[in-house]
Structure 1
Amino acid sequence: MTSYFDDSEIAILRAWRHKLHQFPEISGEEAETAREVVSFLADTSPDKVVTQLGGHGVALVYEGAEAGPTVMLRCELDALQIHEISDLPYRSRVDGKAHMCGHDGHMTMMAAVGRHLAGNRPARGRAILLFQPAEETAHGAEAVLADPKFGAITPDYSFAIHNMPGLPLAHVAVAAGQITCASMGLRVELTGKTAHASMPETGVSPATAVARIITGLEKFQTGEVVAQGFQRVTLTSVQMGKPVFGITPGSAEIRMTLRRPESDKMPALLEDVLSMIRATAAEEGLALAHTTHNFFRACINDPDAAAAFETAADRMNLSPVTDYVPIRGAEDFGLFGSCSKSALLFIGAGMDKPMVHNPDYDFPDELIPVGAGLFLGVLDQLLGFAQPAGR
């Protein structure tokens, strides 16, 4: 397999990934992580550094000598509110927060690209390395696109990589078209009236409504694979009453995740679900309130961008996985397809690896040069390098 990095460089990158892993910051709080990125890549002499982009986002711009397209490579800054279960020497030092999705690894792959660009500038156009904030809440991409500073660096192409446990290590899954689903969180509040447990008839309990709603969600589960007509409404949390024995509940909160392949059909699915919940609440004499959260748009790979990833993987002799995408999951990258030709690639983290968002997950360091090599292969195709790219 072709590599752009020698062992000493990989050791530096691995150590930096372990540093990031120890000091995770969740969505909206990534200020120190952003400063660390800028500091670590300062000696790569980017032509422009954009900070506070859509929050704590950072974009580093490397200009080519000739006119050409703008190619953006994107990774994520944020960690998760998960307590890490690990005896790793570099485990999280922040209680209840950890890089359980591999964003520390994604940042390191991107930093490897930046360090390579220090001595191998684009021959034409410009390369942009975007460290996006708030990916986990689906607020980051929207905030970046809405930031006036993004207008000056709007890309023609956008690329992202996400590691994926359950795929063989360093195998790749990419294709044109649908890659991920759209997803949205729905929070429902049902309000009645508490009562003494000996006289429940004097109150209005949400218990029956909760049971009916949970059962009613079953009709929204259609299809098994991501294709036209597929949808899922997944119950994620139910809270009702107090942990006591003498009081019947007077309120309840239900949380669920809605998903479909098409972003523009999410409002219709939301309205269908809410219609069922409204009717149930009214019949049970309950007040209803709801909020929506974390609207991830579907990722649809542009054919030209996907082909660039495929060529880069082929040049590195990486094995493709052809039956993996599209997936039911969501990723806050889809919006970049509204302003550029975009593609998301999944890279295998190992068959026996804990799944992302699990408390015992850890990003495989072996993927650092592989992911960086894929990004550099894309830049080589679209921009070229002013000096040989190390192949």
Structure 2
Amino acid sequence: MPIVNRFADLADEIAAWRRDLHEHPEIGYDTVRTAAVVAERLAEFGCDEVVTGIGRTGVVGVIKGAGAGPTVGLRADMDALPILEKTGKTWTSKVDGKMHACGHDGHTAMLLGAAKYLAETRKFAGTVVLIFQPAEEGGGGAKAMIDDGLLTRFGIDRVFGMHNWPGQPVGKFMIRTGPQMASADRFTITVEGLGGHAARPHLSCDPIVAGSAIVTAAQAIVGRNVDPNEAAVVSVTTFHAGTADNIIPQSATLTGTVRTLRAEVRDLVEERLGQVVEQVGAAYGVKATLAYRRDYPVLSNHEVDAQFAGDVAAMIVGEQNVDRNATPTMGGEDFAFMLEERPGAFIFAGVGEDVANLHNESYDFNDELIPVGCSYWTQLVETALARAT
């Protein structure tokens, strides 16, 4: 029976796992229940080894094939987001202010489905390491697992990831060689002025006016300093100042994010943003300082592995449904840390053209993707770790 039909038979069971996870979302490293559910299922499936507590709350399952061979890692993320769900589904979140708005419940369920099949069939030579990671949404859970010895302890040679993608039909895969997702950095700008009465602005140094000028000037970094052939984003996303309408505040705090697709552009934007903050602040008579934190690096697919992942997807859905030159996205993904340490690739899988955007209160993972995603994982393993004939 073809693998896709095998998962068609299991699709309802896997969807039930997914919906249970959806009802009980957990954020960041607090994926305690989720990790326990994952570990319990992996043990039930007969994994050769189940290890918890990697990267605080990460879970690893090991399945050995029928014979010696290399080791391939497959990663799914488990964490949810601090959003109040408004899907109206019967399996809606039972935790106010938390929901699976990025489909990590689906990612976890699909990898569990693949684990069940692989542990049962073992039609490969080598080892599969199933990686269930916490804190992808800004917490750097991938790096935490690496720092805990994930890649070396389990001897992982190649590593692969997958993410659902709204706006594309189920059965459409998207991948590219090289940079596919942006670096994701954070910054805080502190503007220290001189507070006073709003009716006597000449006796104050207004941090709101100065901060506004910094926001405007920062937009020119992309438009006038970055090569137009490169990609970069500078977004100021919060601006906090003031307590009343008749008071010029003493200070203001701004935060935001920078996204780039190349290390050189990342360096340039960080340098120019520091100059803009300091010099525009000085022009307005305030002291403005920048605190810049580099978070996730650029997610860059390795050439051989991106080609391989695309080939595997084509085995499942046909070459006509695989976009091998997908447009990069400026979203960030901490799987990038794993690709800095090991060869591998990250692929997008369409989850439906009518599915709400990621990180939206109306988003819900489309369970129609389950048999396709599970089939991709199992086909990848059986191809990468093909037994000699």
State the Cα distance separating 1:291 from its structure 2 match: 3.2
What corresponds to 1:259 in structure 2?
A: 259
Q: Partners in 1 of 2:290 and 2:33 — Cα distance?
A: 34
Q: Partners in 1 of 2:31 and 2:285 — Cα distance?
A: 44
What corresponds to 1:363 in structure 2?
A: 365
SS at match of 1:119: helix
**Is the CA contact (8 Å cut-off) linking 2:29 and 2:139 kept in structure 1?**
no
What corresponds to 2:64 in structure 1?
A: 63
What corresponds to 2:351 in structure 1?
A: 349
Q: Partners in 2 of 1:178 and 1:269 — Cα distance?
A: 18
Identity over the aligned pairs, expressed in percent?
31
State the Cα distance separating 1:322 from its structure 2 match: 4.7
**Is the CA contact (8 Å cut-off) linking 2:78 and 2:105 kept in structure 1?**
yes
Q: Partners in 1 of 2:212 and 2:150 — Cα distance?
A: 48
SS at match of 1:362: coil
Q: Partners in 2 of 1:66 and 1:220 — Cα distance?
A: 55
State the Cα distance separating 1:293 from its structure 2 match: 4.5
In structure 2, relative to structure 1, the CA distance for the partners of 1:125 and 1:362 (3 Å cut) is same
State the Cα distance separating 1:152 from its structure 2 match: 1.0
In structure 2, relative to structure 1, the CA distance for the partners of 1:132 and 1:92 (3 Å cut) is same
TM-score (norm 2): 0.92
Q: Does 1:201 align with 2:202?
A: yes
In structure 2, relative to structure 1, the CA distance for the partners of 1:364 and 1:340 (3 Å cut) is same
What corresponds to 2:16 in structure 1?
A: 15
Q: Partners in 2 of 1:266 and 1:348 — Cα distance?
A: 29
Alignment: residue pair count: 384
State the Cα distance separating 1:325 from its structure 2 match: 2.6
Task: Give the structure with the higher percent helix.
Answer: 2
What corresponds to 1:156 in structure 2?
A: 157
What corresponds to 1:106 in structure 2?
A: 107
State the Cα distance separating 1:222 from its structure 2 match: 4.5
What corresponds to 1:337 in structure 2?
A: 339
SS at match of 1:5: helix
Runs of 4+ with >4 A deviation:
225-228
State the Cα distance separating 1:339 from its structure 2 match: 2.3
State the Cα distance separating 1:350 from its structure 2 match: 1.8
**Is the CA contact (8 Å cut-off) linking 2:32 and 2:57 kept in structure 1?**
yes
SS at match of 2:181: coil
| One-letter code aligned to 2:99 | A
**Superposition RMSD in Å:** 2.3
What corresponds to 1:283 in structure 2?
A: 283
In structure 2, relative to structure 1, the CA distance for the partners of 1:381 and 1:291 (3 Å cut) is same
Q: Partners in 2 of 1:69 and 1:228 — Cα distance?
A: 40
**Is the CA contact (8 Å cut-off) linking 1:138 and 1:296 kept in structure 2?**
no
Q: Partners in 1 of 2:155 and 2:223 — Cα distance?
A: 38
In structure 2, relative to structure 1, the CA distance for the partners of 1:245 and 1:373 (3 Å cut) is same
Matches within 5 A, 1:175-186: 175-186=176-187
State the Cα distance separating 1:364 from its structure 2 match: 0.5
**Is the CA contact (8 Å cut-off) linking 1:178 and 1:325 kept in structure 2?**
no
**Is the CA contact (8 Å cut-off) linking 1:84 and 1:97 kept in structure 2?**
yes
In structure 2, relative to structure 1, the CA distance for the partners of 1:109 and 1:220 (3 Å cut) is same
